[in-house]
Copies of this chain bind each other. A is one copy, B any other.
């Protein structure tokens, strides 16, 4: 087994890997902002060796460097860099992917060196990317055609949750047993592991939640702004909304009006949190899925335009999505 601090990959021909070695390895593809932290928790908590892959070579090297000193028992828990997605699935029975878009998922799973070419009955593939639900379904369909098990498991909780291993995973799994096979692995990286239904429903649940979240957040921003401009005290208004029928997570847990709550992005100039760019992406998936599903989402469509605007404005692109409050006021020149 290749271990990054002992020898190079090439000294271990593929055939050498026994089924048991494969069973004891977990693959992780996609070491971006989220994936890096998730893979770290997996490495720290799971009893498995880790095989990692990223088209960005420096990401995998950084991961190796980061863990060099902390490694205590190299024989049990090594970290290895794979040559390609298919290389990983041949050497690890469980593979987790965390990729930025539908196109990347298609490439990693179905492309020339994609997972589909090495997956078999032993394989469990967990895609935690947030992508178009129809792509999740299509990819899963092709992988299960090879006998593999596949679940979609997009996350919420952001980089903070990824680091603290408190993510929520919304899991689409064809059966209870598929779900229970994935759950212990996801538990190393998250706190709430929710079974949403069959394959693809993880994506659907996340998309529906985030669309509702965006609408609520804009709604709270409009209501707070209106009340304040008419003379109400922000904290008093928020407390009234929070004990009335307007109550929602965006008002009582993540209020977008600066000064109403401590320790939320609105009280630190909208730094950190869930960025406008990511919200714009999720809303775009929702608008596209709604067209496919023949569903009309008027508020969702307006919300998409507003977050698209924020995502494309230098001042707001990297801010938390509650900065829509600031934008609503500022774009009015006040």
Contact = CB atoms under 8 A, between A and B. Distances in A.
A8 interface: no
Instruction: Point out which of A213, A216, A288, A294 has the most chain B C-beta atoms below 10 A from its C-beta.
Output: A216
A64 interface: no
A198 B289 contact: no
Interface string A278-308: 0010001011111101111111111111101
A205 B192 contact: no
A49 to B, nearest CB: 33
A229 B178 CA distance: 24
Contacts of A287: 287, 301, 304
Contacts of A168: 244
Identical subunits present: 4
Interface stretch (A35-43, A71-79, A109-117, A247-255): A247-255
Contacts of A240: 170, 194, 196, 205, 209
B293 A215 contact: no
A178 B2 CA distance: 52
B213 A216 contact: no
A192 B243 CA distance: 10
B298 A302 contact: yes
A245 B251 contact: no
A233 interface: yes
A226 B204 CA distance: 8
A222 B156 contact: no
B289 A308 contact: no
A210 interface: yes
Given A290-B226, A305-B298, A201 B231 contact: yes
Contacts of A248: 212, 216, 247-250
A171 B242 CA distance: 16
A245 B308 contact: no
Given A205-B232, A248-B249, A294-B332, 16 more contacts: A156-B245, A204-B227, A205-B227, A211-B223, A211-B246, A212-B220, A212-B222, A212-B248, A215-B222, A215-B223, A218-B299, A222-B298, A287-B301, A294-B311, A298-B306, A299-B302
